[in-house]
Structure 1
């Protein structure tokens, strides 16, 4: 009883405050409530869903198979939810997450329209004080960040953006009401995963579409299809093996690397294998390819050449095809966008590609976009310019740990974490899907992350602990381990959001190791060992 009372400090508003009501915040709320803790979630939006609440742009959808993406923790949820497509679109996904929120009665502990601007650790009281945008303050023993890897959108550094007279949107801040492209002159700036999904949808109805591309990406076919009642019934019987498979694979996808090396087979076998993967659903061509394509330059060149040939076959104008083939990175070394007739868009007479390496954008004008060689008039400008990834959402909150130290300063040279969950000098703060955790198929990683944090909180409750902190030695060891895992990976030589590079953000021009590059099973094994040892690697008080 004494332990429970020590944990339930009566002078605090809550036992735990969670920032964010996306997939991780929702599940963490559910688990901590079951421990009997007083939990409050602060969410900037007007509803649950996180990524799937904010990203309403046309074409937004999963690139993990729907049935491998939904929550696995509740048999009831699995039994009653039908997915309508192999790769669910955003509206369906948001309906699913609202269904989960209703089912688990989550909203009563979530405060919407509540953006957290600051979180300061109070040394004397061993608690966190949270400041909201409306000026209100809230105190809790523990703070959980569920703020997402890709939740801090970035606008490009282009002059006079605010002068444009037409409609303009960042894809991650899309309006809640429909936007019509019918007969309109539309610009899309950016050809990353979001840009690709947006472009292939907007091209269906736009009067004229101009695409401004800086860096082309290697894209592969999604091969989406509807799921009928019979197939859904079959999927439901296979849920145990689907989730077991996700537990066993390298990155929690249904796909995992082929054990063979690229050059251990004949050229004919290699070509046939690449063809097979190119014709199959989802990330197989990236995650289920020969084991060496992401570490061996010659192997990577082989798959890159194969996909380049596909692009040349699909795009009629070969000058345009060459612009769509990446020259500064190999296939799979950046996140691979999955597409549906994306390359065929460039065969449409009403679509134009502008390479801004050749003719840079100089500024936005009231009528449209001025490049170095032309003025383009538009009715709508869409900024598919991505996110300040992984650490960006942390940077937007004034986070201060023990002694008032700012997280931004602690991470000046790149993130330093313990298991990707804890930070030295920031007691009682845990991160869900923070830097240095296993990423891959995100909801599978979320569930593990949340379960691990829940067990840590249970340990604190049962032992009357009021301070949990990573040690310097633990952080150094884990950060070094994460860096060593990145050695030899071709992707860590490339500028991308996965290496912390963002030319649109001041100070994000230096490559860092912001993600864990090992296998998800190895990550879980390490975290499980820490828990099994009674968390003796942490400072507990």
Structure 2
């Protein structure tokens, strides 16, 4: 469609503006989807809850927030000039730099003029007669579009703990996702951190040297491994930029689109000495290699997993001086890699500081938040600040917070009440013309996410091009294809140790009512296999879909 045609497409139905497409979210996915649809000449409106672009990197401003994917593997790959002009300062860049990068992208490609900030979508309903979506903002304003594309992120529905008195505390308190935009002063403060997942680890290790007193309330310890971050030298910068084509080709071949690839050997195919030397090497290297490039059976064979978990436990005991504290920091309810692996920098050493203490809430549960602090079953603690690193209602939670209604008025929340049902993780039967970028059952939720975002967006863009060129006004997954894909998802997860563990990756969040049953939310076949499946569907004229 030409640019004049696109301008004409943005019309008004009565007093309601109408577009070719509405995108929800202006994070990494929403920005790239906007860029690609604008290339097609389509009229596009993006609605973003925040006051700026960046999604995850706009909201998560907490101390220590940074990549655990290598910076240069994380940025957009679609524009060679962009790759060459941007210099990442560290191998794993911090949030401020990442947000600067995303703002640079928005400015460089003039994306902001299509984005409405401070605009939270409350409802979206499909009009069967007009084959359009009507989107309602919290303000009451309504707009319409032929296609609706959700780019709302897998970790964007933050949750506070279900502890009595959360709103009674009279000091400062923040959920890490809602961190203030202005500086927070920690000097001399008595600070509590609730939660020791990936976010909690980053906060704790960063603020421990800054506060007057730090108390960490831990329910479930996690297997944390060293990030080994450092600045990128000028020589490395030049090599990275020269090597971008080969690197991105490598990323297309690895299961999670990281520069790390699974070792083809089994844990018990090598000698004990070789095994120990290999693990020492992984522990001393930067990034997710210790998770993604380990022996092929560490995440599927309980014996192999137990052996490597014991290796990491020994490292924790070496690094934490107090033996009782060290034992509390070693997970007992799950093996290494079956939950998200936090990458850390002197996290364990933080517990060696005299003003840092660890409270195991399985031994002494939190009973309530008081006006002055936190009361557990055996003590009362006074604080100046409470930080909630209590995570997210992951993958499906952001969908639950918008009232999506498809054909016959069916609610997406009801369609997914027994677990998500999707086709390719990109659409659901009964919800025509709606595409779910980084949705459940999608490879992107277990991936170096921008790499899988680009695949999702490129596939969705090709679908919209196909529809636009042929005058197709309704695109929908069939119930049969949806059912087959859901079976495929279950089959791929069979034998994976993580499916036996309670975590956000299996849909468990006890801070959310009804999220206490394990579900398979992610695609486990790896990004290359997922990409091949999506390409095959398109090559077969969008098999499994009804286009009319």
How far is the alpha carbon of 1:519 from its aligned partner?
1.2
Q: 2:10–2:43: 8 Å Cα contact kept in structure 1?
A: no
> Is 1:505 the counterpart of 2:503 in the alignment?
no
Partners of 2:101 and 2:176 in 1: how far apart? 21
Paired position in structure 1 for 2:304? 299
Determine which of 231, 247, 266 is the counterpart of 1:226. 231
Determine which of 400, 419, 427 is the counterpart of 2:424. 419
Partners of 1:204 and 1:534 in 2: how far apart? 59
Paired position in structure 1 for 2:527? 520
Cα pair distance change 1:473/1:9, threshold 3 Å: farther
Paired position in structure 2 for 1:41? 46
Residues 218-257 of structure 1 correspond to what in structure 2 (within 5 A)?
A: 218-257=223-262
SS in 2 for 1:522: helix
Q: Hey, which bits of structure 1, 4+ residues long, moved more than 3 A?
A: 7-12
SS in 2 for 1:195: helix
> Is 1:22 the counterpart of 2:16 in the alignment?
no
Paired position in structure 2 for 1:94? 99
Deviations 1:55-88 (A, max 9, x none): 0000000000000000000001101000000000
Q: 2:226–2:345: 8 Å Cα contact kept in structure 1?
A: yes
Paired position in structure 2 for 1:194? 199
For structure 1, list consecutive stretches of 5 or more residues without a partner in the other structure: none
> Is 1:185 the counterpart of 2:190 in the alignment?
yes
SS in 1 for 2:443: coil
Partners of 2:354 and 2:472 in 1: how far apart? 67
Partners of 1:389 and 1:262 in 2: how far apart? 32
Determine which of 326, 333, 336 is the counterpart of 1:328. 333
Partners of 1:250 and 1:126 in 2: how far apart? 37
SS in 2 for 1:13: strand
Deviations 1:394-414 (A, max 9, x none): 000001101100000000110
Partners of 1:503 and 1:17 in 2: how far apart? 33
How far is the alpha carbon of 1:229 from its aligned partner?
2.1
Partners of 2:418 and 2:493 in 1: how far apart? 16
For structure 2, list consecutive stretches of 5 or more residues without a partner in the other structure: none
Determine which of 442, 452, 461 is the counterpart of 1:454. 461
Deviations 1:258-288 (A, max 9, x none): 0000000000000000000000000000000
Paired position in structure 2 for 1:534? 541
SS in 2 for 1:46: coil
Paired position in structure 1 for 2:177? 172
Paired position in structure 2 for 1:277? 282
SS in 2 for 1:511: coil
Paired position in structure 2 for 1:140? 145
Partners of 2:111 and 2:145 in 1: how far apart? 19
SS in 1 for 2:46: strand
How far is the alpha carbon of 1:230 from its aligned partner?
2.2
Partners of 1:361 and 1:503 in 2: how far apart? 14
Q: 2:19–2:145: 8 Å Cα contact kept in structure 1?
A: yes
Q: 2:61–2:181: 8 Å Cα contact kept in structure 1?
A: yes
Determine which of 375, 381, 385 is the counterpart of 1:380. 385
Deviations 1:113-158 (A, max 9, x none): 0000000111111100000011100010100000000000000001
Partners of 2:146 and 2:9 in 1: how far apart? 8
Partners of 2:520 and 2:415 in 1: how far apart? 15
Deviations 1:198-228 (A, max 9, x none): 0000102000000000000000000000012
SS in 2 for 1:162: coil
How far is the alpha carbon of 1:256 from its aligned partner?
1.3
Residues 402-441 of structure 1 correspond to what in structure 2 (within 5 A)?
A: 402-439=407-444, 440-441=447-448
Return the TM-score normalized by structure 1.
0.98
Partners of 1:93 and 1:239 in 2: how far apart? 19
Cα pair distance change 1:9/1:84, threshold 3 Å: closer
> Is 1:442 the counterpart of 2:449 in the alignment?
yes
Partners of 2:270 and 2:246 in 1: how far apart? 30
How far is the alpha carbon of 1:46 from its aligned partner?
0.2
Determine which of 490, 494, 500 is the counterpart of 2:497. 490
Q: 2:9–2:18: 8 Å Cα contact kept in structure 1?
A: no
SS in 1 for 2:167: helix
Determine which of 15, 18, 40 is the counterpart of 1:13. 18
How far is the alpha carbon of 1:89 from its aligned partner?
0.1
How far is the alpha carbon of 1:535 from its aligned partner?
1.0
SS in 1 for 2:193: strand
Residues 66-215 of structure 1 correspond to what in structure 2 (within 5 A)?
A: 66-215=71-220
Return the TM-score normalized by structure 2.
0.97
Partners of 2:458 and 2:49 in 1: how far apart? 24
Paired position in structure 1 for 2:404? 399
Partners of 2:383 and 2:544 in 1: how far apart? 58
Number of residue-to-residue matches in the alignment: 539
Paired position in structure 1 for 2:268? 263
Partners of 2:536 and 2:543 in 1: how far apart? 10
Partners of 2:165 and 2:251 in 1: how far apart? 47
> Is 1:362 the counterpart of 2:361 in the alignment?
no
Partners of 2:279 and 2:528 in 1: how far apart? 27
Partners of 2:9 and 2:478 in 1: how far apart? 25
